[in-house]
Structure 1
Amino acid sequence: MFYDRAKIYVKGGDGGNGCIAMRREKYVPLGGPWGGDGGHGGDVIFVADEGLNTLQEFRYKKHFKAERGGHGMGKNMHGAAGEDLIVRVPTGTVVREAETGRLIADLVEDGQRVVVAKGGRGGRGNVRFASATNKAPRIAEKGEPGEELWVELELKLIADVGLIGFPNAGKSTFISRVSAAKPKIADYPFTTLVPNLGVVAVGDDSFVMADIPGLIEGASQGVGLGHEFLRHTERTRLLIHVVDVAGTEGRDPVEDIKTINRELELYDARLAERPQIIAANKMDVQPQADENLTRLREAFGDSYEIFPISAATGEGLDKVVHRVAELLEEIPKIPPEEPAADLQMVFEPEERFSIQRDFDGNWRVSGKEIERHVAMTYLEEEESVERLQKIMRLMGLEQGLIDAGVKEGDIVRIGDWEFEWTP
């Protein structure tokens, strides 16, 4: 099966915990703190691999988590950094944040890499908190949680040339004749249900051709899996419009071309401007083919180059292939997808915390910064808790809760933790 969409969960490795340890050696009185730092968590990295051509791997495996960092130890020994998790995806994969649709990356070149979820930094050991007033601190940090998110993967085939047209127009026969691709071929509509790729050799050069499954009227609105197929035309530099010039399916070839081009424009106006040539197929079916070829030239001869061919017999295919090779030398490659140019990045400082009533009348404090501070605090160590309270006070959280109406004995929730409020 050909899978070109997937939704997966990725999480960077948590940072390793910092260590609380004291130096206790013979003849070394008052040795002081000796706890090392935790290691950085591993990143989740997507790498484009031209050897892959489907997202099938992600059909069954949905969760990807990098290794956490090693914990700090005594003797000021630092934890090892967590190993990065490399996730290989086909070239042509677009990665978006599932919740917001934000574009993360468009991986179009073999070996291209992008960090999708960063690992958390390692917590500091108690050596880091020694000072002139506190020479033996029992303060350290737990590792920072790694980034986590759901991402959507969308594969858009990378091909130089795309074959478009109605079902049964002869696209699969065309690509099987000019390349080594072996698509399923049969005499009924919708034989081809997945795109097929083939490499076409022209002298010492070559180009990649994609057989896009048959489009129908309404494809731009998703009729007949239109969106699933049209997506794969977005990266093609040149379109070959294969049309049944003999009208063997009872359709008018002139109207077929108008219909498909209209669907391209409705889906993406840029596709309608893409260079296109017409391959008038089934010229071996006479006399309808000659009559309709004349009509095609009258209707489209000023706009497109028209090549009479017979994919079944091979007639005229060489001329099409050589002309395509010539045109590709002049047509630039399609650039990777980027955020809209009119979206200006304006820095807006993130709110440090927000306070709201929870479902049971208690209090919920939210915010990445405060949740990170709580997650990295050793709540079983009194000195560490005192440090957290000082951070909350400096952030203005304590006064914010008072202003919101918190009372003694109320429960305050921050992240996964609950605290009982005491003035």
Structure 2
Amino acid sequence: MFVDNASLTVKSGKGGAGCVSFRKEKFVIKGGPDGGSGGKGGDVYFEVDNNTDTLSTYKGMHHVKADNGQPGMGSNCSGKSAKPVVLKVPPGTQVIDEDTEEILFDLLEDKQRVLFLEGGKGGLGNTHFKNSRNQTPSYAQPGLVGTTKNIRLELKLIADVGLVGYPNVGKSTLVSTISNATPQVANYEFTTLTPKLGVVDVGDYNSFVAADIPGIIEGASDGRGLGIEFLKHIERTKTLLYMIDMSNYREMMDQYEVLKEEVGKFSKELSGRKFAIALTKIDAIPSEELNEKITQFIEAIGLSLSNENTFSFEKDKKYFLQELTYTKYNEELPYFVLPISSATHDNINGLKYALYDLISRDRCEE
């Protein structure tokens, strides 16, 4: 089960109380105080675990509490410190203070471990308070209480490319075609109810991660449909792939404008990311109509089909894009517009390499 947020109350352990004790042993006159100190309360840590991809562990878990430290004992024996509690979360998890909405931690790297709440310090036993003026102290410190925090965990998936499109536009089919992911694929809208990640291999040594986001519809930013709920999962991606269904009853330009508008309403920063466009399901369009529809769309978004704006990769390296591809990058325009078909695999390899090229440029700029 995919769970991307959870609220819980976390409390570190209380320190153990110090001990009041006096040494009583045969042949030892006035042995004096020997009360030991209490043990430290349990700390609470967060640790990133790359083997998890959901917060389902914390669904229904309203409280997490570390153990208290053990009290001190006589004979100068200190109490045992409590073991820390380690909360494992997937990469991309944010820890947010529910009371102030402050982002406390943004956990991204595998094996990253941070101290969240420190356990209370154990109290000192009475042996620590003896001096020349008070040789029989009859008091000890109580342990310090632990810290309590109300937090919310929010998972924002980490991907290189986020797929954005209407329901049933072919996002899941594309992810299953180009990667090792196996999302549900069916011929009805809102097949994908939760985001899916897929690792896309590009050649023998390179790869990138693509995120299939549930479909966005008009009015999504006002609460309609499912897409806006999951748009947070593409906030971390620096590249967006808008997918336009050429066989849909909606006009291609209408799809594009609505998607751009809804993403912009959700986040101005997100709408300014580098992006590309894939025109899907070209196998469902008669060949005599295909080029005309593509040409009209490309011209409508302000691009030109002149030769200086097109390129093709070498076919023997399986790098091939149609001549309708636009590649002269402008921040206001898509990096490329590429007609594809996941069913017949038309231009699928070209799409993989074109996306990797765009991602590589972003990495070089960093």
- Shorter-chain TM-score bucket reads 0.7 to 0.9
Indicate if the aligned counterparts of 1:254 and 1:295 stay in contact, CA closer than 8 A: no
Q: In structure 1, how many angstroms separate the alpha carbons of the residues matched to 2:129 and 2:3? A: 52
- TM-score, structure 2 length as denominator? 0.87
Q: Aligned pair in 2 of structure 1 residues 119, 136: CA closer, same or farther (>3 Å)? A: same
Please report how far the alpha carbon of residue 286 of structure 1 lies from its aligned counterpart in structure 2 after TM superposition.
Answer: 2.2
Q: After alignment, is 182-191 or 293-302 more displaced? A: 293-302
Please report how far the alpha carbon of residue 62 of structure 1 lies from its aligned counterpart in structure 2 after TM superposition.
Answer: 2.7
Q: Which residue number in structure 2 is paired with residue 171 of structure 1? A: 171
Please report how far the alpha carbon of residue 215 of structure 1 lies from its aligned counterpart in structure 2 after TM superposition.
Answer: 0.7
Q: In structure 1, how many angstroms separate the alpha carbons of the residues matched to 2:207 and 2:362? A: 15
Q: Which residue number in structure 2 is paired with residue 272 of structure 1? A: 271
Residues 146-191 of structure 1 deviation map (CA, whole Å, 9 limit, x = unaligned) = 1112210001011111111111111111111101211111111111
Q: In structure 2, how many angstroms separate the alpha carbons of the residues matched to 1:218 and 1:106? A: 30
Q: In structure 2, how many angstroms separate the alpha carbons of the residues matched to 1:296 and 1:112? A: 46
Q: Which residue number in structure 2 is paired with residue 313 of structure 1? A: 344
Q: In structure 1, how many angstroms separate the alpha carbons of the residues matched to 2:83 and 2:364? A: 36
Q: Which residue number in structure 1 is paired with residue 67 of structure 2? A: 67
Q: Which residue number in structure 2 is paired with residue 28 of structure 1? A: 28
Q: In structure 1, how many angstroms separate the alpha carbons of the residues matched to 2:365 and 2:150? A: 28
**What residue identity is the alignment partner of 2:271?**
A
Structure 2 gap ranges (5+): 304-332
Q: Secondary structure at the match of 1:21?
A: coil
- The answer to whether residue 185 in structure 2 is matched with residue 154 in structure 1 is no
Q: In structure 2, how many angstroms separate the alpha carbons of the residues matched to 1:297 and 1:209? A: 24
Residues 283-315 of structure 1 deviation map (CA, whole Å, 9 limit, x = unaligned) = 112245433311221122531110011122111
Q: In structure 2, how many angstroms separate the alpha carbons of the residues matched to 1:227 and 1:241? A: 15
Q: In structure 2, how many angstroms separate the alpha carbons of the residues matched to 1:94 and 1:60? A: 18
Q: In structure 1, how many angstroms separate the alpha carbons of the residues matched to 2:112 and 2:353? A: 32
Please report how far the alpha carbon of residue 128 of structure 1 lies from its aligned counterpart in structure 2 after TM superposition.
Answer: 1.7
Indicate if the aligned counterparts of 2:96 and 2:153 stay in contact, CA closer than 8 A: yes
Q: Aligned pair in 2 of structure 1 residues 159, 116: CA closer, same or farther (>3 Å)? A: same
Q: Secondary structure at the match of 1:323?
A: helix
**What residue identity is the alignment partner of 1:165?**
G
Q: In structure 1, how many angstroms separate the alpha carbons of the residues matched to 2:62 and 2:35? A: 37
Indicate if the aligned counterparts of 1:183 and 1:192 stay in contact, CA closer than 8 A: yes
Indicate if the aligned counterparts of 2:213 and 2:227 stay in contact, CA closer than 8 A: no
Q: Which residue number in structure 1 is paired with residue 284 of structure 2? A: 285
Q: How does 1:17-416 map to 2 (within 5 A)?
A: 17-203=17-203, 204-246=205-247, 248=248, 250-287=249-286, 288-300=289-301, 302=303, 303-304=333-334, 305-332=336-363
Q: Secondary structure at the match of 1:7?
A: strand
Q: In structure 1, how many angstroms separate the alpha carbons of the residues matched to 2:155 and 2:55? A: 7
**What residue identity is the alignment partner of 1:308?**
P
Please report how far the alpha carbon of residue 327 of structure 1 lies from its aligned counterpart in structure 2 after TM superposition.
Answer: 1.4
**What residue identity is the alignment partner of 1:7?**
S
Indicate if the aligned counterparts of 1:282 and 1:289 stay in contact, CA closer than 8 A: no
Residues 13-56 of structure 1 deviation map (CA, whole Å, 9 limit, x = unaligned) = 11111000012223332222110111111111111111101111
Q: In structure 2, how many angstroms separate the alpha carbons of the residues matched to 1:128 and 1:222? A: 63
Structure 1 gap ranges (5+): 336-423
Indicate if the aligned counterparts of 2:215 and 2:226 stay in contact, CA closer than 8 A: no
Q: Aligned pair in 2 of structure 1 residues 334, 91: CA closer, same or farther (>3 Å)? A: farther
Count of paired positions:
333
**What residue identity is the alignment partner of 2:258?**
T
Q: In structure 1, how many angstroms separate the alpha carbons of the residues matched to 2:54 and 2:77? A: 44
Q: Which residue number in structure 2 is paired with residue 413 of structure 1? A: none
Q: In structure 2, how many angstroms separate the alpha carbons of the residues matched to 1:176 and 1:195? A: 13
Identity %: 44
Indicate if the aligned counterparts of 1:50 and 1:91 stay in contact, CA closer than 8 A: yes
Q: Which residue number in structure 2 is paired with residue 416 of structure 1? A: none
Q: Aligned pair in 2 of structure 1 residues 20, 263: CA closer, same or farther (>3 Å)? A: same
Q: In structure 2, how many angstroms separate the alpha carbons of the residues matched to 1:222 and 1:5? A: 18
Q: Secondary structure at the match of 2:198?
A: strand
Query: Which structure would you say has the larger Rg?
Result: 1
Please report how far the alpha carbon of residue 70 of structure 1 lies from its aligned counterpart in structure 2 after TM superposition.
Answer: 1.7
Please report how far the alpha carbon of residue 262 of structure 1 lies from its aligned counterpart in structure 2 after TM superposition.
Answer: 1.2
CA-based RMSD of the aligned residues comes to 1.7
**What residue identity is the alignment partner of 2:2?**
F
Indicate if the aligned counterparts of 2:218 and 2:262 stay in contact, CA closer than 8 A: yes
Q: In structure 2, how many angstroms separate the alpha carbons of the residues matched to 1:282 and 1:290? A: 13
Indicate if the aligned counterparts of 2:17 and 2:141 stay in contact, CA closer than 8 A: yes
Q: In structure 1, how many angstroms separate the alpha carbons of the residues matched to 2:50 and 2:152? A: 19
Q: In structure 2, how many angstroms separate the alpha carbons of the residues matched to 1:125 and 1:331? A: 59
Q: Secondary structure at the match of 1:186?
A: coil
Please report how far the alpha carbon of residue 133 of structure 1 lies from its aligned counterpart in structure 2 after TM superposition.
Answer: 2.3
